[in-house]
Amino acid sequence: MPSFPLCPQCAAENVYSDGTLYICPDCGHEWSMEAASRDDGGGDAVVRDANGSVLADGDAVVLIKDLKVKGSSTTLKVGTKIKKIRLVGGDHEVDCKTETGSFMLKACYLRKA
C-alpha cells in the first residue's frame, strides 16, 4: 500500500492520488506530486490558516467558527481575536491565551487578522 503525504491545508491523512495530483477529499485541496516531493526535503512545516495565509509566532488571528472546549461548558465564539500566537508541533498547531484560558487550536479554524 503506497504512503501518501498529509494534506498541507488541513493535515488530514485521507489523501489519494489522481494522475499527477494528490487530492484531499476532506477539504478538497489539490496539489501536484512534484510540489510535494520538493516540500519533503525542507525542514519545518509551514502552518497556514483557513484562507491559506502563512502563520508565524506572534501573529494575531480571529476564530472563524464557534469551538466548544472539550471537558468544559465554555465555548470560544466566532470572531474572537487572539493575539500573540505561538506555533507548536502536532495536530493542534497553535498555542494561545484568551480571556477564558490557554488553548491549543487547529489552524484550520483561524484566519490571520
Domains of the chain: 1-43 (2.20.25.10), 61-112 (2.30.30.40)
Give the pLDDT confidence of 5-41 residue by residue, as tens digits.
888 878 788 888 888 888 888 888 888 877 666 555 4
Is the sign of the CA dihedral 26, 83, 55, 3 positive or negative? Answer: negative
The model's confidence at residue 78, banded by pLDDT at 50, 70 and 90, is: very high
pLDDT of residue 58: 93
Give the pLDDT confidence of 47-77 residue by residue, as tens digits.
889 998 899 999 999 999 999 999 999 999 9
Judge contact between 78 and 64, C-beta under 8 A.
yes
Q: What is the pTM of this model?
A: 0.60
- The beta strand positions in 40-93, using DSSP E, are 61-63, 67-68, 75-76, 81-82, 86-87
The model's confidence at residue 43, banded by pLDDT at 50, 70 and 90, is: very low
CA 84/CA 14 separation, integer angstroms: 32
Identify the residue with better confidence: 49 or 44: 49
